[in-house]
Amino acid sequence: MWGKRDDMVVHDKEPFNAEPPPAALAGQALTPVDAFYSRNHGPFPDLDPATWRLRVDGLVDQELDLSLSDLQRRFETRTEVVTLECAGNRRAELLAVRPIPGQVPWGPTTISTAEWTGVSLADLLVAARPVPGAAHVAFTAPDVSPSVDPPQPYGSSIPLPKACSGEVLLAWGMNGAPLPRIHGGPVRVVVPGFIGARSVKWVQHVTVASEPSDSYFQAEDYRLLPPDAEPGPGRGISLGPLTMTSAILSPDHGDRLPAGPTDVIGYAFAPEGRRIARVDVSLDGGQTWTQAVVDDPPSPWAWQLWHLVLDLPAGPVEITARAWDDSGATQPEFPASLWNPAGYANNSWPRIRVDAA
Ligand SMILES: Nc1nc2c(c(=O)[nH]1)N[C@H]1C(S)=C(S)[C@@H](COP(=O)(O)O)O[C@H]1N2
Ligand SMILES: [Mo]
């Protein structure tokens, strides 16, 4: 479906929400488009690249109205390897602690890495010249989400300093091909290091403003609430920058495999200028640890792959991991301590159980 692998884990057909089986990500720095996770709040718009336009307005000196070829001709093309991660990645482990009704039960693969080609949002902002008072940059798309009452188009915003940082892209290419419709073609925003929800697909409108976007998806959704709080506009911590995380991709949870030396493979991700400095793996719930080999990231904005060989004893065994970044920060031990009503930002130690014989 939608050009994805047949073995995608499809959580919803409409809107389409799917993540790859862990093995499809194992050991690959770049995720093929057919395995890249897909997260949608409504039906995909069908925008014609020939008539698509981007409007830039709000608190600027010079409004812009650009076609795709204007965008490609007027600004310098930039290619970046960037990992996108949904704020709901690994929600399934949170809802095993306590139910989270109405949210997609994402496993550990709502994260993928691609090479994106486009222009820097910063270059457009230089041309548009934000005026004093400008503090946020909002993005709007035409896909209407029926799950919001009343239904509304998708939108979100990022702080102006992030928008001006150079790495935020308006992308029309993915892994060397035109951006597929399912991933936001003809043009999407790519915000490295921020939750996937800020990387607005099918973007048509960029507005510079003094306040964050009043879209439901910025003002009310994607917020971290205390365990017993009710959601509401402006409540909770608005999620922007991602938290460090990791996961085990191979073997897969529930696998039956031969005892003895076994390749254990995973990813770890340290966003916003940090790097994963170490990954520890344990077969005894964290009493003793062995260090994995951690690959260099393919770019400053991407995850790092890790791997090691562990000698699996016969019988049921739990494999646990934890990553450390270069500031010495590590992951929390249990999902229970992170539980929140919408199930975001679970970055606890990944654990899988396998049966070795
Ligand atoms: N227009 C639009 N942009 C969107 C969304 C959406 O539903 N509509 N979903 C967001 C969320 S929550 C995520 S995690 C990423 C997913 O991008 P992908 O589907 O290309 O993997 O897109 C973001 N941008
Ligand atoms: Mo997301």
- All structural domains of the chain with their residue ranges: 9-238, 245-356
Task: Tell whether the model's pLDDT for residue 233 goes beyond 90.
Answer: no
Nearest CA to ligand 1 atom 9: 40
Q: What is the pLDDT of residues 338-350, one digit of tens each?
A: 999 999 999 999 9
What is the spatial distance between Cα 306 and Cα 289, in angstroms, rounded to a whole number? 15
Q: How many residues does the chain have?
A: 357
pTM attached to this predicted model: 0.98
Per-residue tokens: 283: 């077969």
Q: How confident is the model at residue 273 (pLDDT cuts 50, 70, 90)?
A: confident
CATH number belonging to the domain at 9-238, selected among 3.20.20.70, 3.90.420.10, 3.40.50.300, 3.90.850.10: 3.90.420.10
Task: Tell whether the model's pLDDT for residue 225 goes beyond 90.
Answer: yes
What is the spatial distance between Cα 357 and Cα 342, in angstroms, rounded to a whole number? 39
User: What is the rounded average pLDDT of the residues 321-327?
Assistant: 98
Per-residue tokens: 281: 């793996």
Q: What is the pLDDT of residues 22-42, one digit of tens each?
A: 999 999 999 999 999 999 999
Q: What single letter denotes the amino acid at residue 306?
A: W
Peptide linkage before 316 cis (omega within 30 of 0)? no
What residues contact 266, with CB distance under 8 A and at least 6 apart?
26, 246, 247, 248, 249, 250, 279, 292, 305, 306, 307, 321, 350
Task: Tell whether the model's pLDDT for residue 234 goes beyond 90.
Answer: no
Gyration radius of the chain over CA positions: 21
Q: What is the pLDDT of residues 300-323, one digit of tens each?
A: 999 999 999 999 999 999 999 999
User: What is the rounded average pLDDT of the residues 287-307?
Assistant: 98
User: What is the rounded average pLDDT of the residues 97-101?
Assistant: 97
Looking only at the bridges linking them, the beta strands covering 351-356 and 256-257 are parallel
What's the number of CA atoms in the CB half-sphere (13 Å) around residue 56? 22
Same topology, domains 9-238 and 245-356? Answer is no
User: What is the rounded average pLDDT of the residues 180-204?
Assistant: 98
- Pocket around ligand 1: residues whose beta carbon is below 6 Å from it? 36-41, 84, 86, 141, 143, 154, 183-184, 196-197, 199-202
User: What is the rounded average pLDDT of the residues 119-141?
Assistant: 98
- Is residue 91 helix, strand or coil? helix
Q: Domain spanning 245-356: which CATH class is it, in words?
A: mainly beta
What residues contact 101, with CB distance under 8 A and at least 6 apart?
none
So what's the pLDDT on residue 199? 99
For residue 61, which of 125, 128, 121 has the smallest C-alpha distance? 128
What is the spatial distance between Cα 214 and Cα 217, in angstroms, rounded to a whole number? 8
What is the spatial distance between Cα 25 and Cα 250, in angstroms, rounded to a whole number? 9
Instruction: Please choose from 38, 200, 201, 204 the residue to mutate so as to test ligand 1's pocket, defined by most ligand atoms within 8 A of CB.
Output: 201
Ligand 1 centroid – CA 278 distance (Å): 30
Ligand 2 centroid – CA 151 distance (Å): 18
Q: How confident is the model at residue 274 (pLDDT cuts 50, 70, 90)?
A: very high
What residues contact 13, with CB distance under 8 A and at least 6 apart?
1
Ligand 2 centroid – CA 310 distance (Å): 33
C-alpha distances in angstroms, 233 versus 138, 222, 228, 237?
A: 17, 11, 16, 11
Q: How confident is the model at residue 208 (pLDDT cuts 50, 70, 90)?
A: very high
Ligand 1 centroid – CA 22 distance (Å): 20
